C-alpha cells in the first residue's frame, strides 16, 4: 500500500466532495458548513488532501482522484473490494459504509451525524454509524465533547490501528472509545491498542460476540486480548458510556475502598448493594446527611479510595447543595463520583455536575460500575508499568521430538500428547500418584476465530466442565504473565506459593509449545496436579488445527540473538525483553551525563518506572531494541532501538557506555537495526542528533546517512538513510 500521511486525513487543508448532490452528500455538506470548516471545499473530483465519496460510481471516482494525486478518501456508501481500489490508485481510505470523520477542534464535521460534535477530549472510533449517532446523542446533554469521531465502517483499508496510532499522539485526546465488530489484522490492532493504552484510557466493546459464540468463549477471549494491551473491555453500551464518563473526568484512585455519602437512606442502600455485589469493600459505614451537608460529608472521607455521593432530589436547597458538592471536589483527597437521581430536576443537576468536570451518573448502580471501570483500568495501567524481576525461565525443549509426534494424525492419543508435553519439560504424574496434598488443575488451549490460541487456567478434575470458569490469556507468556493468569483464576486462593510457582512454570512451557507449533488447535491438560515441588500432567489431549495458526501477539524473536566479537571482548546481541528492566536501569545509571543529554536531549538523572517499562516491554511488530550484553556478567553495555511509524519510516536511537566504545559495537548494533528495518519493509531510517554531538554526526555519516538542518531548531539535525 502507498505510504500514509495521517495529516492529510485528520487535518486536511482541502476537501473534494464527490456525489454532493446525493442525499448523503447533502447531509455531509451541511455538516461541513455548520461545523465551520476553514479549509477549501471543492465539489466533484479535484486535487485535495481528502476526498469525501458520498455517492455515484466509486471505482470511477477513485480512478479520477488517483490521477489527481488525492492521497486519502472516506467512502460513505457501498464499495466492493475497497482495499483493491485503494491499492490500484494509491489512495488510503476509510470505509466502506463509513460514518465519516469529525475533528471539532478544527471545525471539521464530515459525518452523517444528526447533531454537531462538541469539542472535547473524548475520541470515538466505530464501525457502526448508528452507534456513532447514539453516542453523539448521549454526549451533548451529559457535557461530553470530542477530539475525534472516526467512522471506519467495514474496515477494508485504514482501520483501528491507523486511528489508534493517530489518537495516541494527539495531546487533545483524553480517552478513547472503540466500537468493534470486525478486525482485519488482529496483530496490528493489538499492537496499536497497546501503544495507545500506555498513554491514555482506552475502552472497547464488541457488538455481536455472543451471537457468534453463544457459550461466551469469544467474549472472554476478546476481554483477555484487550486486557493484555491495557484496554478496558465492556459488554454493555451503558458500561461503555459510564466508562467514558469516569475515565475522562475522575482523578486517580487512592485505592479500591469506596465510601458512600447520601442525602437519603434508600438510594444509599442501593449503592451499597451494588458495590458489595461487585465484590468491593466499603470504606466505613454509609453516611447519610442532608443535601446541604453532602459536601462536608464527602470531605470527611479521608481513608477512601474514592467517594460516591448519592443525591436524590429534595427541593429548594438542591441547587446550592449541588454547587457546594462540585466546589468541594477540588479539595478532596480522593476522587469524587456523583449519582444525581431523577429526570425533572435530576437532569439539570447532572448537567451542573458535568460542567464542573466531575463524573456524574443517573443511578447508584451506574456510578458503582463507573468506579469499577476506573479501578480495572488503573489495575491494567499498573500492570503495564510493572517491572518484572530479572528471572527468565529458559525453556530448552526437544523440538525435534515434539515435531515428530505432531507430524502424525490430527488428534494425538493420550500417551502421545503427554510425550509432547514431556519434550517441553512438563512431566507426567509418577506411577505412585500425585500425592494427597496435590491440587487438581486444568490448562486448556483453544483457538479463537479472531485471536488464535488462547490459554485457559482453572480448577481441574470433575469440576472442570465449563470453559467459562477458566481465566484466560494469550501466548506468549513469561513468568510474570503466567503468575497474573493464575491470580485471576477462581482456584488461586487454594494454591500455596510453591504450587503457584510450579504451575507458572508449566504455563510458560505450554506457551512456548504454542509459539513453536502454532498449528496446535486444542490442548487440554486435565488434571494437572500441583504439589509443593512440581506440577505434573495426569492426562492430556491434543489436536492440530485444520489451518496453520498465527499468534495474535508477536513472540520474543529469539532467532535474532547472535554473538559479536569486539576488539577486546565478546558481547551477546539480542532483542530486549521485559526482564531486562533492572539491568537497563543500571546501564542508564552508568552513562555519563553528557551521553544522557545526547540520547534524551535533556539532563535526566533517572528514568521513571513507566518509561523504563516502555523501553523494555517492546512490541516486536512495530519496533526492535537490540542490547549488547557482556558475557558472563550479564551487564548491558549498549542499546540500539528502531521504532516504525505510519509513514513507512522508522526512527533510530543508540547509546553505548564509554568502556565499551572503540570496539565496533555501535556500528554492529546499527547494522543489526538496518537489517531488521529492511526485513520489515521500512523505507527510510531517520534520527534526531544534537548539533554539538560531533561523534554521533561523524558516526552516522560513516554509515551513509545524510544530515539535514531543522528549519525550526538550529540545535538539532536530522540524519536520514534511505533503505529502499
Cβ contacts of 350 within 8 Å, gap of 6 or more:
142, 338, 340, 360, 361, 362
Cβ contacts of 600 within 8 Å, gap of 6 or more:
none
- Average pLDDT over the chain, rounded to an integer: 91
Provide the CA 476 distance to its chain's centre, in angstroms: 16
How much is the pLDDT for 526? 94
Q: What is the DSSP string of 67-96?
A: HHT--EEEE-S--TTHHHHHHHHT-EEE-S
CA distance 539 to 688: 57
**What strand order describes the sheet that includes 119-126?**
108-111, 100-103, 146-151, 119-126, 175-180, 202-206, 232-234
The phi and psi torsions of 335 (rounded to 5 degrees) equal -65, 150
How much is the pLDDT for 275? 96
For residue 467, what pLDDT band results from cuts at 50, 70 and 90? low
Q: Are residues 45 and 51 in contact, defined by beta-carbon separation less than 8 angstroms?
A: yes
Euclidean distance between the first and the last CA atom of the chain, given in angstroms as a whole number: 15
For residue 410, what pLDDT band results from cuts at 50, 70 and 90? low
CA distance 101 to 120: 15
How much is the pLDDT for 670? 97
CB atoms inside a 10 Å sphere around CB 268: 22
Q: Does residue 592 register a pLDDT over 60? A: yes
CA distance 17 to 45: 7
Higher-confidence residue of 605 and 272: namely 272
The number of C-alpha atoms within 13 Å of 235 and in the hemisphere containing its C-beta is 10
Which residues partner with 706 through β-bridges? 720
How much is the pLDDT for 587? 94
Q: Does residue 669 register a pLDDT over 70? A: yes
The arithmetic mean of pLDDT across residues 420-442, rounded, is 88
Q: Are residues 146 and 139 in contact, defined by beta-carbon separation less than 8 angstroms?
A: yes
Enclosing H/E stretch for 688: strand 684-690
Q: Does residue 466 register a pLDDT over 90? A: no
Instruction: Give 278: exposed, middle or buried? Use CB within 10 Å, 0-12, 13-18, 19+.
Output: middle
Q: Does residue 465 register a pLDDT over 60? A: no
SS (H, E, C) 186-209: HHHHHHHHHHHHCCCCEEEEECCH
Pick the CATH number of 250-385 from 3.40.50.300, 3.40.47.10, 3.40.50.261, 3.100.10.10: 3.40.50.261
All CATH 3.30.470.20 domain ranges of the chain, comma separated, are 399-544
What are the angstrom distances between the C-alpha of 711 and each of 45, 423, 504?
34, 60, 54
CA distance 243 to 179: 13
How much is the pLDDT for 1? 58
The phi and psi torsions of 698 (rounded to 5 degrees) equal -65, -35
CA distance 643 to 625: 9
Helix%, strand%, coil% for the chain, nearest 5: 40, 25, 35
What are the angstrom distances between the C-alpha of 542 and each of 220, 299, 420, 446?
22, 58, 9, 10
Its CATH class, for the domain covering 399-544, is alpha beta
How much is the pLDDT for 435? 74
Pairing of strands 540-544, 520-530: antiparallel
CA distance 420 to 412: 10
Give the model confidence (pLDDT) of 471-520 as tens digits.
999 999 999 999 999 999 999 999 999 999 999 999 999 999 999 998 89
Higher-confidence residue of 625 and 599: namely 625
Q: What is the CATH number of domain 558-722?
A: 3.40.630.30
Give the model confidence (pLDDT) of 221-233 as tens digits.
999 999 998 899 9
**What strand order describes the sheet that includes 40-43?**
40-43, 14-18, 50-53, 72-75, 92-94
Pairing of strands 471-473, 306-311: unpaired
CA distance 310 to 371: 13
CB atoms inside a 10 Å sphere around CB 141: 11
Give the model confidence (pLDDT) of 685-717 as tens digits.
999 999 999 999 999 999 999 999 988 888 999
| Superfamily of chain region 6-242 | Succinyl-CoA synthetase domains (3.40.50.261)
For residue 561, what pLDDT band results from cuts at 50, 70 and 90? very high
Give the model confidence (pLDDT) of 63-102 as tens digits.
999 999 999 999 999 998 899 999 999 999 999 999 999 9
Q: Are residues 102 and 117 in contact, defined by beta-carbon separation less than 8 angstroms?
A: yes
Relative orientation angle of helices 479-488 and 497-516, to the nearest 10 degrees: 120
Enclosing H/E stretch for 268: helix 265-277
Candidates 281, 248, 273, 225; CA nearest to 139 is: 248
Give the model confidence (pLDDT) of 314-359 as tens digits.
999 999 999 999 999 888 889 999 999 999 999 999 999 988 989 9
All CATH 3.40.630.30 domain ranges of the chain, comma separated, are 558-722
Give the model confidence (pLDDT) of 438-456 as tens digits.
899 999 999 998 899 999 9
All CATH 3.40.50.261 domain ranges of the chain, comma separated, are 6-242, 250-385
**Cell numbers standing for residue 160:** 483501528
Amino acid at each position: 500500500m502507498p505510504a500514509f500521511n495521517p495529516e492529510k486525513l485528520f487535518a486536511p487543508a482541502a476537501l473534494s466532495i464527490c456525489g454532493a448532490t446525493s442525499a448523503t452528500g447533502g447531509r455531509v455538506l451541511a455538516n461541513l458548513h455548520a461545523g465551520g470548516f476553514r479549509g477549501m471545499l471543492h465539489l466533484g473530483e479535484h486535487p485535495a488532501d481528502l476526498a469525501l465519496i458520498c455517492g455515484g460510481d466509486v471505482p470511477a471516482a477513485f480512478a479520477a482522484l488517483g490521477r489527481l494525486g488525492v492521497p486519502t478518501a472516506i467512502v460513505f456508501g457501498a464499495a466492493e473490494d475497497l482495499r483493491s481500489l485503494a491499492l490500484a490508485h494509491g489512495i488510503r481510505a476509510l470505509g466502506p459504509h463509513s460514518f465519516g470523520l469529525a475533528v471539532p477542534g478544527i471545525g471539521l464535521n464530515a459525518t452523517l451525524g444528526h447533531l454537531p460534535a462538541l469539542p472535547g477530549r473524548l475520541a470515538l472510533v466505530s464501525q457502526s454509524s448508528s452507534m456513532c449517532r447514539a453516542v453523539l446523542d448521549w454526549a451533548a446533554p451529559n457535557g461530553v465533547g470530542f477530539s475525534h469521531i472516526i467512522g471506519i465502517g467495514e474496515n477494508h483499508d485504514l482501520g483501528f490501528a491507523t486511528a489508534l496510532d493517530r489518537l495516541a499522539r494527539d495531546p487533545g485526546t483524553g480517552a478513547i472509545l472503540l466500537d468493534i465488530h470486525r478486525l482485519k489484522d488482529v496483530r496490528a490492532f493489538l499492537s496499536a491498542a497497546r501503544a495507545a493504552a500506555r498513554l491514555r484510557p482506552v475502552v472497547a466493546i464488541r457488538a455481536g460476540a455472543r451471537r457468534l459464540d453463544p457459550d461466551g468463549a469469544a467474549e472472554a477471549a476478546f476481554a483477555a486480548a484487550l486486557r493484555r494491551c491495557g484496554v478496558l473491555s465492556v459488554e454493555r453500551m451503558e458500561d461503555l458510556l459510564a466508562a467514558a464518563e469516569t475515565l475522562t473526568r475522575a482523578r486517580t484512585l487512592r485505592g479500591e475502598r469506596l465510601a458512600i455519602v447520601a442525602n437519603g437512606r434508600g438510594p444509599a442502600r442501593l449503592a451499597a448493594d451494588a458495590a458489595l455485589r461487585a465484590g468491593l469493600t466499603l470504606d466505613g459505614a454509609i453516611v447519610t446527611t442532608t443535601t446541604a451537608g453532602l459536601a462536608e460529608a464527602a470531605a470527611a472521607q479521608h481513608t477512601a479510595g474514592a467517594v460516591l455521593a448519592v443525591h436524590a432530589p429534595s427541593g429548594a436547597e438542591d441547587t446550592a447543595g449541588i454547587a457546594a458538592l462540585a466546589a468541594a471536589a477540588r479539595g478532596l483527597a480522593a476522587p469524587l463520583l456523583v449519582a444525581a437521581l431523577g429526570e425533572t430536576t435530576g437532569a439539570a443537576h447532572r448537567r451542573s455536575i458535568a460542567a464542573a468536570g466531575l463524573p456524574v451518573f443517573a443511578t447508584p448502580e451506574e456510578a458503582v460500575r463507573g468506579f469499577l471501570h476506573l479501578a480495572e483500568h488503573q489495575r491494567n495501567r499498573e500492570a503495564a508499568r510493572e517491572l518484572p524481576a530479572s528471572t527468565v525461565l529458559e525453556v530448552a525443549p526437544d523440538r525435534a521430538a515434539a515435531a515428530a509426534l505432531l507430524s502424525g494424525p490430527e488428534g494425538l492419543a493420550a500417551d502421545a500428547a503427554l510425550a509432547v508435553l514431556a519434550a517441553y519439560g512438563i512431566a507426567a504424574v509418577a506411577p505412585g500418584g500425585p500425592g494427597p496434598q496435590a491440587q487438581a488443575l486444568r490448562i486448556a488451549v483453544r483457538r479463537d476465530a479472531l485471536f488464535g490460541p488462547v490459554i485457559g487456567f482453572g480448577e481441574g478434575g470433575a469440576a472442570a466442565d465449563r470453559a467459562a470458569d477458566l481465566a484466560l490469556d494469550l501466548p506468549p507468556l513469561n513468568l510474570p504473565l503466567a503468575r497474573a493468569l493464575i491470580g485471576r483464576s477462581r482456584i488461586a486462593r487454594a494454591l500455596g506459593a510453591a504450587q503457584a510457582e510450579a504451575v507458572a512454570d508449566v504455563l510458560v512451557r505450554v506457551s512456548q509449545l504454542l509459539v513453536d507449533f502454532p498449528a496446535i488447535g486444542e490442548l487440554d491438560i486435565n488434571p494437572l496436579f500441583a504439589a509443593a515441588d512440581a506440577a505434573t500432567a495426569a492426562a492430556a489431549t491434543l489436536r492440530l488445527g485444520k489451518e496453520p495458526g498465527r499468534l495474535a501477539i508477536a513472540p520474543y524473536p529469539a532467532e535474532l540473538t547472535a554473538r559479536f566479537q569486539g576488539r577486546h571482548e565478546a558481547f551477546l546481541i539480542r532483542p530486549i525483553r521485559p526482564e531486562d528492566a533492572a539491568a537497563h536501569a543500571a546501564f542508564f545509571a552508568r552513562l555519563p551525563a553528557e551521553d544522557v543529554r545526547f540520547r534524551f536531549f535533556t539532563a535526566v538523572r533517572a528514568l521513571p518506572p513507566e518509561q523504563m517499562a516502555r523501553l523494555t516491554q517492546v512490541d516486536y511488530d512495530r519496533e526492535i531494541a537490540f542490547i549488547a550484553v557482556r558475557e558472563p556478567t550479564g551487564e548491558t553495555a549498549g542499546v540500539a532501538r528502531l521504532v516504525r511509524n505510519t509513514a513507512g519510516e522508522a526512527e533510530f536511537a543508540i547509546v553505548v557506555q564509554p568502556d565499551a566504545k572503540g570496539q565496533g559495537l555501535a556500528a554492529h548494533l546499527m547494522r543489526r537495526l538496518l537489517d531488521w528495518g529492511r526485513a520489515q519493509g521500512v523505507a527510510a531510517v531517520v534520527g534526531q542528533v544534537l548539533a554539538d554531538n560531533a561523534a554521533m554526526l561523524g558516526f552516522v555519516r560513516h554509515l551513509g546517512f545524510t544530515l539535514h538542518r531543522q528549519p525550526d531548531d538550529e540545535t538539532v539535525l536530522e540524519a536520514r538513510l534511505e533503505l529502499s
